[in-house]
Chain A
Amino acid sequence: MGELVDWFIAPFEYAFMQRALASLIIVSVVGSVVGTFVVHKGLAASGSGLAHATLGGVAIAFVNGASVALGALLAALAVALGIGYVRGSSRISYDTAIAIFYVSAFSFGVLVISRRSSYTPDLISFVFGDILGVSQADLLGELVLAVVVVGFVLAFYREMVMVAYDPAMAAAAGVRARFFEYALLVLIALSVVVALQAIGIVLVTAMLIIPPATASLLARRIPRIIGISFVLSVGASLVGLYASFHADLAASPAVVIAAMVPFAVTLAATTRRGPRLPAAVAD
């Protein structure tokens, strides 16, 4: 019994493991709140694109010795606004706009990096994530961004829901629909940056999408979806960290796989039962 308790307690006697867990909890909050909108508005591609686009900013900041997180933030914000602009005002479709922006920004990042002799370990940690290397300062930065993101959603929850559900009616009632469409993209960008250090560019979208998607199979109201998603996300974080500590696995992909398993199980369970939703009541 003591051994079992020790198995659970031991990893978190290390400060770097505590920071990793704290970081993943912050990511879980932001991922669940923003991810619920991402999943239900079909913006998964935006999340993925914004994540990849950060490499441009990361590379420039890294080469010039500036804050890498700041570089990522500025690149993500620029691309989010670019996507919003192209979507609102030209004939290029939304996913095409995302693809063009992020491939360009990613290529630019690779170009900048390629002028140096080799990829350095620091940059690789941004691409694939380095949960165990999260510093106190990283944690603080994540916390600040998370407060901004969650605070915005709390303040403008009704407006965001109205614009998501019926943008035309929202605009007619006086809600600034365009502003909130941009705002959602910016929130996705901020969320990506929050999760970047921990999860990495390639995998960051997973935390925005898999837990809310699983939760959406289990609930039909936004607050409940966010709650379930948060629980699933923290659970996956713990499983991933234990796997990393005890089985010496890479932590980031372990977290993602740990989030994937409940999704697959839920999907299978809800599909086998047939149509989950009660049929519409006859008029």
Chain B
Amino acid sequence: MRRAGDRPETNVTADRRLQHGHGSHGPAGREDPASQRVAAPLDGAAHARPPLALEVSGLWAGYPGNPPAIEDVSLSVAEGQMVGLVGPNGAGKSTLIRSILGMLRPLDGEVRVFGRPVHETRRDVAYTPQAEEIDWDFPVSVMDVVLMGRWTRVRAFRPWSRRDRELAMGALERVHLADLAGRQVGELSGGQRRRVLIARSIARGARLLLLDEPLAGLDAAVEHDVLGILDDLTHEGCSIVLATHDLSCVASCCDEACCLNRRVQGYGPPENVLTEEVLSRTFDRHLITVRDGVVAVDDGRMNRGLEQDAGAG
């Protein structure tokens, strides 16, 4: 959503992205992150390529007084990639997202966002917590919420500028909610609320979106709309990490899947990762239910994955 002249200091990165074609979404784009994952983040190679949107290496994190919620998690997200974070309740998906954001201090390991610690790159990152963590009854309008995306520490004390309002309205137009800008957010339906939160991330101009269960509780049609918006964003170079319980969505929409159950159980292209073996490790006893859901995938990628796996075994 950035426009020319918005933030001059990021233009260099944008140019590099164009030269190296990382904004592309095709299979070629998907090969790059694999090679980048091997490269050290800060050596000479970093100058040759734009830094990864997100690089997590050997991350251990958890809450005081409890055993670590995630252990030795490593993953990387290239620009323009959408990564589905899958796992049962309590697997550590939210913990992982919160430690990426620096809201939890890691016990060990490292997180790099666009090659830098997250506290230096906050304006490039947008976070959407689970919908139930938000106080929908609080008397703020849809526009107020989207404007929150514009907040950065250096701009504290200054009122929202005309430009902030333009960007917020533009973001609302993208999610088709411009006509509801003046409504109190609690008056919106579940799907509209998720779109407001996505608009808030868009208004931020963020290049990395961390979304904690943005699809929970949505019906198929609304989920399709939300995924459509996210897909458009990745085509513009946004990187997205999406925690979800919806395996068919991961199979059909995500470039990579990360199966998490305290540790990473499988990571890679969905057709390689969403296999019976990995899913049974990830979800433990819920395997049967999961397979039922998987079979329902409409584009057949998931079924192929399972067949390949069965054939190999």
Q: Flag whether B46 is at the interface (Cβ < 8 A).
A: no
Identify B188's interface contact among A155, A162, A221, A280, CB under 8 A.
Answer: A280
Nearest A residue (CB) for B158: A158
Q: Which of the segments A20-28, A171-179, A240-248 contacts the partner chain?
A: A171-179
Chain A hits for B135, CB < 8 A: 40-41, 164-166
Q: Are B103 and A171 in contact (CB under 8 A)?
A: yes
A: contact size bracket: 20 to 34
Residue in B127, B133, B200 with the greatest tally of chain A CB atoms within 10 Å: B127
Tell me if B225 and A283 are in contact (CB < 8 A): yes
Q: Is the pair A169, B127 in contact by a Cβ cutoff of 8 Å?
A: yes
- Least distance between A170 CB and chain B CB atoms (Å): 8
User: Would A166 and B133 count as touching, CB distance under 8 A?
Assistant: yes
Please tell me if the beta carbons of B221 and A283 are within 8 angstroms of each other in the complex: yes
A277 to B137 CA separation, bound complex (whole angstroms):
12
Does A281 sit within 8 A of B, measured CB to CB?
A: yes
B131, chain A: closest CB distance, angstroms: 10
Closest to A224 in B: B139
Are A280 and B192 in touch, CB under 8 angstroms?
yes
**Residues in B neighbouring A282, C-beta threshold 8 A:** 189
Please pick, from B101, B134, B139, B210, the residue contacting A221 in the complex, using a CB distance under 8 A: B139
Report how far A120 CA is from B192 CA in the complex, Å. 60
* A169-B187 in contact (CB<8A): no
- Nearest chain A residue, comparing its CB with the CB of B64: A89
Indicate which residue in A41, A158, A166, A174 contacts B129 across the interface (CB closer than 8 Å): A166
Are B134 and A166 touching (Cβ within 8 A)? yes
Choose, from B54-62, B73-81, B145-153, the stretch at the interface.
B145-153
Instruction: Please encode chain B, from 163 to 198, with 1 for each CB lying within 8 Å of some chain A CB and 0 for all others.
Output: 000000000000000001000101111011000000
Expressed in whole angstroms, the Cα–Cα distance for A159 and B119 within the complex equals: 18
Give the total of B residues in contact with A, Cβ under 8 Å: 41
Would you call A221 and B184 a contact (CB within 8 A)?
yes
Asked if residues A173 and B151 are in contact (CB atoms below 8 Å), the reply is yes
Set of chain A residues within 8 Å of B107, measured between Cβ atoms: none
The B-contacting residues of A in range 204-247, CB under 8 angstroms, are: 216, 219-222, 225
Q: Residue of A at shortest CB range from B210? A: A172
Decide: A283 near B189, CB < 8 A? Known: A172-B101, A221-B139. Answer: yes
Chain B nearest CB, measured from A222 CB (Å): 5
Docked-complex contact B101 and A220, CB < 8 angstroms? no
| Residue contact A165 to B192, C-beta cutoff 8 Å | no
- Chain A positions within 8 Å of B, measured between CB atoms, are 36, 40-41, 155-156, 158-159, 161-162, 164-175, 216, 219-222, 225, 277-278, 280-283
Please list 21 pairs of residues, one from A and one from B, whose beta carbons are closer than 8 Å in the complex, sorted by A's number.
A36-B139, A40-B139, A165-B140, A166-B129, A167-B133, A168-B127, A169-B128, A172-B102, A172-B127, A173-B148, A174-B151, A175-B151, A220-B139, A221-B144, A221-B184, A222-B140, A277-B187, A281-B180, A281-B192, A282-B189, A283-B222
Interface on B for A, CB 8 Å cutoff? 98, 101-103, 119, 122, 125, 127-129, 133-135, 137-141, 144-145, 148, 151-153, 156-157, 160, 180, 184, 186-189, 191-192, 200, 204, 210, 221-222, 225
